Chains A and B, each alone.
Chain A
């Protein structure tokens, strides 16, 4: 469904992504693992059109989307949930959801506000609360719900459980699995191996803007050397 081919990206003169190749198939949940500053966020942003792709291709459903504007990418069905949530603080929960709204798509699950409140019952109780007055966990739920309002084919989830309490991490894992069952394709970035293990089918490991490992989650768990080399702090 999504394929990155030899993607390079820069911040100013700093060479951040040095040739990333990865692929996500329909219905899969794939995790991108790596330490702080490895380039996970940059990879997701490059796919989303939020960081310019200097060279390389980003292929979504057969079309090269590198260089397209972020809103066009969102409209062809890629949803993006940023690591810092980026809830519109002055907008209420309902308004935040309204910003994300897009028409339904035939080949992707269709979400309504009521269905999302079923998925995130906490949110239902705070429809008119401004986003700025929600806890981190609530904001994370809202951020995901807001992206789902666009009925995406694929979601990019950037470190969805960063800074959340263990109980909420488990809830988040259940949520991601539920999304997968709905038929949604997921590419997430993580440092939390335990969480990744619960939700992902396959894994890529990135270090200093280059991929160091790619394989099934099971293969990564079996490869202790790779884990210590690229992931342990």
Chain B
């Protein structure tokens, strides 16, 4: 019994930390509609900065608490700077490009932190005056944790006062509901957004800084935290601060007790809770639907045009180049080309649901990884031939996609994206924790193609043939009646229903098709690398896919193809030439987003339009 009480208190302390980060994320999303992946980086920076300040300033209480506050404020300033320098320029761009920019910031911050603080874990000082422990139910409980327990509700109350008892708070709440109307009443969104970014980032920085006496500080703490904060925000309801506390409490207690009861599946448990909440209450526990929250990521104006003669020529030349590549390229270049061919299919499959379907997936790697694992398991456990593996991969992934589509029902927009994230995390946890089947972290090794496909050129041709056919089939589907139905459901779901399109069913099929295609890519990848690891279905790989699609542009099939080539090629080059490839990649992504807010292919299409003298699509 005593143990349960103490475990409960532990949960409360974690809930406070989680709440600080999540409330900042929620406030930022509520007002600006930006899904800020860099929020975790700010949390991490808060911890690092507090460490630097605390070890530089005097050792007394003034030094320690000064460091905590100073770090939180410094992170707030960084957040405001991010808003002013980057995000402000792209508020009019589709939501997902803002996401892309924040990914770029994540990469940059990660490498800058590596540069400044080095790769080793750092240990912070203990809090002066709170080093001891108190007796609670006969158990020792650290005083510092008691402080944390108090800070969560305290911040909740302060935020409530700010939002409900000041005019600024009223304006923020108004803008959260309907920012266009607020602007029409004279509310300057830009200043409000900067202030909100400052506040949200202060909360993230404070959350990170307060970890100083609790845990070691490292470069991975940001990403782990932002994913958990997303779960909290979505479960609590986007934009709802009390919801964030409630959800942080739930998740933290689930952690605290889940680890006792089901130590192996705590991760799965948390994401299952999120999935259930989203299915039962699509707007989260305390969330409300937003006005003007776009359900899709592409502007409805996106029209598919038949390929121009020039594009056909490019296609034909590209095809010849593909065939000739093995004669021109060395071994290394050929493996890069093979990888690109496979990733093109991965990106095109994601594009299939994102572009015509308007559904964002943060977890598309789940299907890629499922395909890879299915192929590898069939090959290694059943000793089946590669062809069987390549057949099973899309089938398994496609079935998983169909199941997911069935569950996610009518969710759309950010909520759907979050559910895809949850599903991918569940798959990842299973691959990671079910070691008997999957080999856990060690993965499955020795998944090699048979002799006929073993030479680099042979496997290259195989990958190109399968990938190209699948991409062309996807392209056909987009231009077939099915594709029209899908796009109608994206642009005007109600009207589409009215003319007899079953929007939900169309989306489910699209999900299954996209998942199957990603699974095929995963299967190809497994035999290409000769091994499978949980990283294949991890979030960073999903992010890779997103980046490819968004870089290329969501409005045409050439987008993901170009995006995959540019992204993989760029990454490959950067890794070869610099240790700080994340920094370079991040800067490149940010620069690309600022220069081409509609993707590379979209930009090319606009250039072509302009030459034809069509009206500018948006005048400003």
Looking across the interface, which residue of chain B has its beta carbon closest to that of A67?
A: B620
Knowing A71-B189, A98-B170, say if A90 contacts B619 (CB, 8 Å).
no
Is B170 touching A54 in the complex (CB atoms < 8 A)? Answer: no
Q: Determine the chain B residues whose CB is within 8 A of the CB of A70 once the complex forms.
A: 180, 183-184
From DSSP, what is the main secondary structure of chain B's interface residues? Answer: loop
Interface size on B, residues (CB 8 A): 30
Type the 1/0 row for B146-187, where 1 means its CB is closer than 8 Å to any CB of A. 000000000000000000000100110110011011111111
| Minimum Cβ distance to chain B for residue A75 (Å) | 5
Looking across the interface, which residue of chain A has its beta carbon closest to that of B614?
A: A13
Is A74 touching B183 in the complex (CB atoms < 8 A)? Answer: yes
Type the 1/0 row for A104-115, where 1 means its CB is closer than 8 Å to any CB of B. 000000000000
Is A13 touching B615 in the complex (CB atoms < 8 A)? Answer: yes
Q: Is A210 an interface residue (CB 8 A)?
A: no
Complex Cα–Cα for A88 and B175 (A): 9
Q: Is A100 an interface residue (CB 8 A)?
A: yes
Looking across the interface, which residue of chain B has its beta carbon closest to that of A85?
A: B181
| Minimum Cβ distance to chain B for residue A144 (Å) | 12
Q: Is A52 an interface residue (CB 8 A)?
A: yes
Q: Determine the chain B residues whose CB is within 8 A of the CB of A75 once the complex forms.
A: 186
Complex Cα–Cα for A14 and B300 (A): 11
Q: Is B498 an interface residue (CB 8 A)?
A: no
Looking across the interface, which residue of chain B has its beta carbon closest to that of A143?
A: B181
Q: Is A26 an interface residue (CB 8 A)?
A: no
Q: Out of A15, A71, A90, A102, which one reaches B183, CB within 8 Å?
A: A71
Is B300 touching A12 in the complex (CB atoms < 8 A)? Answer: yes
Q: Determine the chain B residues whose CB is within 8 A of the CB of A89 once the complex forms.
A: 177, 288
Complex Cα–Cα for A160 and B616 (A): 33
Is A50 touching B180 in the complex (CB atoms < 8 A)? Answer: yes
Q: Is A150 an interface residue (CB 8 A)?
A: yes
Q: Is B2 an interface residue (CB 8 A)?
A: no
Is A12 touching B180 in the complex (CB atoms < 8 A)? Answer: no
Interface size on A, residues (CB 8 A): 34
Q: Determine the chain B residues whose CB is within 8 A of the CB of A100 once the complex forms.
A: 185-186
| Minimum Cβ distance to chain A for residue B108 (Å) | 29
Interface set, chain B 335-379, CB cutoff 8 A to A: none
Interface set, chain A 34-81, CB cutoff 8 A to B: 48, 50, 52-55, 67, 69-71, 74-75, 80
Q: Out of B170, B185, B188, B301, which one reaches A13, CB within 8 Å?
A: B301
Q: Is A86 an interface residue (CB 8 A)?
A: yes
Complex Cα–Cα for A52 and B618 (A): 8
Q: Out of A15, A71, A80, A90, which one reaches B177, CB within 8 Å?
A: A90
Is A12 touching B183 in the complex (CB atoms < 8 A)? Answer: no
Complex Cα–Cα for A88 and B181 (A): 9
Q: Is B299 an interface residue (CB 8 A)?
A: yes
Complex Cα–Cα for A69 and B191 (A): 13
Knowing A86-B178, A90-B173, say if A80 contacts B616 (CB, 8 Å).
no
Give 26 A-B contacts (CB < 8 Å), ordered by A residue: A10-B617, A10-B618, A11-B301, A12-B299, A12-B617, A13-B301, A13-B617, A50-B184, A52-B618, A52-B619, A53-B619, A54-B619, A67-B620, A69-B188, A70-B180, A71-B187, A74-B184, A74-B185, A88-B173, A90-B173, A90-B177, A95-B170, A96-B174, A99-B187, A100-B185, A146-B185
Interface residues of A (CB under 8 A from B): 10-15, 48, 50, 52-55, 67, 69-71, 74-75, 80, 82, 86, 88-91, 95-96, 98-100, 102, 146-147, 150
